[in-house]
Amino acid sequence: MEKPTINYESLVRITKAISTIREPEEIVLITVEGVTHALNVKGCTLFLFSPKSEELKLAGSYGLSTEYLDKGPVSALRSIAAALQDGQPVAIFDVSDDPRIQYPEAALKEGIASILSVPIITGENLFGCMRVYTTEPWEFTLNDVNFVQAVAQIVGMAMDLCRVNKGLKDSIDILKTMRDPKTMVYKRRTPYEGVPKSFSREEVAETST
């Protein structure tokens, strides 16, 4: 798998797109698609944390099958829990041999090799998490982690602002205002829509030299 060089170009592109949107479902979709293309990985998901059930509720995804997304409830206590409990990123190199994975069989069937899970924290509150999935074993670099953390922080602030503007009590209430995250289709142009991946990688690499 070819790893693109991640720098401010990718981050600015996604941030600019998010800044023009006011609806939470569109913020989520443009984020997960932008991260997937920026890192050239299999897919990306964004979950919101439900303190009542202690589960992660899917807000949006890109690149993953409906079958995988329907694998079962995602427990905040069993599914890469350290990313939520400690508030730190967690990288899983091999999903087939790591006890922190809640559904290893489903991940293998989906063709997932590695996962990066990054918490989304607004203020002192756990808002949710963003996860990145690769098809080949991936040693996530500090650059990779910092990029995903930055995007997660930005989308968390944008989603929290939506929550405040809509007068919602907590983050999970946002899901009640959204369509089914497994069937949502983004109608606007995304930061990477229509741009071949090879061109995107070259463009990013050029700006870093």
pLDDT at 133 > cutoff 90 = yes
Q: For position 87, what pLDDT does the model report?
A: 84
% of the chain at pLDDT higher than 70: 82
Q: Which of 60, 57, 70 lies closest to 106, judged by CA?
A: 70
CA dist 71 and 68 (Å) reads 5
Interval 122-147 mean pLDDT? 91
CB 34 within 8 A of CB 191: yes
At the second CATH level, the architecture of 12-178 is 2-Layer Sandwich (3.30)
pLDDT tens digits, residue range 87-112? 889 999 999 999 999 999 999 999 99
pLDDT tens digits, residue range 161-171? 888 877 888 88
Q: Which of 41, 39, 36, 15 lies closest to 27, judged by CA?
A: 15
| Domain boundaries defined on the chain | 12-178
| Side-by-side strand order, sheet with 125-134 | 74-75, 55-62, 43-50, 125-134, 114-122, 90-92
pLDDT tens digits, residue range 31-75? 999 899 889 999 999 999 988 888 999 999 999 999 999 999 998
Could you give phi then psi for residue 117, rounded to 5 degrees? -115, 125
Does the pTM surpass 0.75? The reply is yes
CB 45 within 8 A of CB 60: yes
Q: Which of 58, 47, 35, 40 lies closest to 190, judged by CA?
A: 35
